[in-house]
């Protein structure tokens, strides 16, 4: 995917705020029947300085 630097977010505090207020991720998978969108709850790992997103994907 092409990344446009004009839309890059560099404010780590703002990124943390957005993830904390919207703690969901959408994982899109390709199957024999087509695309499937799965929604997962996520958290930021506060023990790390970078923006590490933590979640859990279980077996169907």
Boundaries of every domain in the chain: 5-55
d(CA 4, CA 2): 6
pLDDT digit string, tens, across residues 7-53: 999 898 999 999 999 999 999 999 999 999 999 999 999 898 888 99
Q: Is the pTM of this model over 0.75?
A: no
pLDDT digit string, tens, across residues 25-36: 999 999 999 999
Residue pair 17/2 in contact by the 8 Å Cβ criterion: no
């Amino acid at each position: 995917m092409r990344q446009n630097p004009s839309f890059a977010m560099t404010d780590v505090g703002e990124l943390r705020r957005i993830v904390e207020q919207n703690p969901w991720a959408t994982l899109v998978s390709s199957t024999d029947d087509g695309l499937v969108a799965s929604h997962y709850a996520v958290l930021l790992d506060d023990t790390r300085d970078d923006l590490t997103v933590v979640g859990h994907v279980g077996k169907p």
